[in-house]
Structure 1
């Protein structure tokens, strides 16, 4: 019974890493036994002499830790971690649902684009088919294309997914 109470206090917290230190911070937190999630995306990178597929963070300088409030200091004392993300002046956990949606997005075959632009809310939609089935979001006009926008409220950014209009329903 006590174990269930402890698990109820474990929540996902977004943390900000030092620039380009996401993977090293992930390794350090994992070595401490802290459950960590770093959303990665495969991209084809072009150099002057070659092309190569690389895995890079979907959201630069962000990763997510699954901890209780008692572990906040331990996370901050980890190499590569800069700070927790604050909302309204306090450290706030993210809903489990948003982490699950982020995992679903990164596992999907769709090319993702992250923007920190403050996109205006548009028409509410729900994906009706494909690997993103069931995810709700907003449609916005972005770069003259209709795209699904899944706004993750606690991140302060938006994730844009290219998806055909035939795969969405209006809510």
Structure 2
């Protein structure tokens, strides 16, 4: 989806563990970028520490027009655009906003898995929370998890829901 500025969201690959550095460098260049992070507790040898861990390993999102692609790729640590169907993958504004909204929820927790590891199963509808009325495909999981497919990224968000927040979608 394209907004009225002509800018679209794209995902770029970064060097391993460079997500936050690349995000900062892009912003210093005036490029609108986003590296979604979630807070998690990390155990060190002598203490526990809360860290901000990138949600998508080796990915940063950029909101750019075609003229800014060179500026993005010339950023130290940025490797290439994520491709889907032989073109840079355009991420829908709604997908970005959904992830941003969910990460604002108290105790939000998302685990990301590569889509290619899973097969499609039942369709479900989420009945509570920020994802309310969203439809997803259960690709793998038990009574507490549903995998929400982001087709353009070839990634799956694993969002933990209580089983009572999900119901099978009736197909007529």
> Shared fold by TM > 0.5?
yes
Q: How many residues align?
A: 166
Q: Secondary structure at the match of 1:79?
A: coil
CA RMSD of aligned residues (A): 2.0
Once residues 78 and 129 of structure 2 are traced to their aligned partners in structure 1, the CA distance between those partners, rounded to angstroms, is: 36
- In structure 1, list runs of 5 or more residues that go unmatched: none
Residue equivalent to 1:55: 52
What's the offset of the Cα at 1:145?
A: 4.2
Once residues 74 and 163 of structure 1 are traced to their aligned partners in structure 2, the CA distance between those partners, rounded to angstroms, is: 40
* TM-score between the two structures when normalised by the length of structure 1: 0.88
What's the offset of the Cα at 1:110?
A: 3.2
What are the within-5 Å matches in structure 2 for residues 146-165 of structure 1? 146-165=144-163
- Asked if structure 2 preserves the Cα contact closer than 8 Å seen for 1:140 and 1:146, the reply is no
1:19 to 1:35, Cα distance in 2 relative to 1, 3 A: same
- Asked if structure 1 preserves the Cα contact closer than 8 Å seen for 2:140 and 2:147, the reply is no
After TM superposition, the runs of 4+ consecutive aligned structure 1 residues lying more than 3 A away are none
Residue equivalent to 2:69: 72
- Are 1:168 and 2:166 matched, yes or no? yes
- Are 1:85 and 2:85 matched, yes or no? no
